[in-house]
């Protein structure tokens, strides 16, 4: 499974990228707003930090507008992935951009039928929003499972990018189902390493080591 960071905070991206565990980054207008920076400047900096795809989202809602914005975003760096809304205009833009050789990420997916359309349009990634479905009393993981089955049935190459990840359990369940990618906030990714027994075991080992009076050195 690939790990993408869902943020436009350059400092956090650098910190996590240094672990070697980061495969890409996803951004959106809300995250850009939170960063307080110009979209081109911050996206270019992010693309220079990570080697994998960086999703940059169009803000236009019509096909022509999306294509114009996509042209601007694609010039930022070679690892830009154009993020498009799951609408008819967005799917049309996805097909056109895919045909031109661009990576695409079709976002705001809330049904298996929508994911099927994204795959038909040739999307590199489709982003089903788990947490937002859970907020509505639905089962976000059930959607991931349905999409996985459909994509496997027809050997679609579109990758399932589980988004709106809220908890470490979301990550585990997405991995068990077979999502290709998860994108999560930095805090959620950092929480994956935490376990009270790991902390206790390390504390015990260090206490015992201190009693030996030894040091590991030349």
83 is catalytic: yes
Residues 83/123, Cβ–Cβ less than 8 Å = no
3-state secondary structure of 66: helix
Under DSSP, the state recorded for 120 is: H
Output the furthest CA–CA distance in the chain (Å, rounded): 71
Identified catalytic residue from 83, 92, 120, 211: 83
Q: Long-range contacts of range 129-137, CB-CB < 8 Å, 24 or more positions apart?
A: 129/163, 129/164, 130/162, 130/163, 130/164, 130/165, 130/166, 130/170, 130/174, 131/164, 131/165, 131/166, 131/170, 132/164, 133/164, 134/166
Catalytic amino acids?
83
């Amino acid at each position: 499974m690939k790990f993408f960071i869902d943020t436009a905070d350059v400092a956090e991206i650098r910190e996590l990228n240094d672990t070697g565990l980061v495969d890409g980054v996803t951004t959106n207008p809300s995250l850009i707003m939170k960063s307080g920076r110009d979209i081109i400047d911050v996206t270019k900096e992010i693309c220079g930090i990570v080697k994998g795809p960086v999703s940059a989202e169009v803000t236009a809602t019509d096909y022509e507008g999306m294509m114009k914005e996509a042209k601007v975003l694609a010039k930022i760096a070679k690892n830009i992935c154009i993020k498009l809304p799951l609408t008819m205009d967005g799917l049309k833009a996805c097909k056109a951009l895919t045909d031109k050789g661009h990576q695409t990420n079709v976002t705001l997916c809330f049904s298996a039928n929508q994911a099927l359309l994204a795959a038909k349009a040739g999307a590199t990634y489709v982003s089903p929003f788990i947490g937002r479905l859970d907020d509505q009393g639905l089962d976000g993981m059930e959607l991931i499972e349905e999409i996985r089955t459909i994509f496997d049935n027809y050997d679609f190459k579109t990758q399932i990018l589980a988004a709106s990840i809220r908890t470490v359990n979301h990550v585990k369940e997405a991995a068990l189902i077979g999502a290709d990618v998860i994108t999560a906030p930095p805090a959620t990714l950092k929480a994956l390493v935490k376990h009270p027994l790991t902390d206790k075991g390390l504390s015990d080992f260090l206490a015992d080591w201190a009693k030996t009076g030894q040091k590991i050195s030349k």
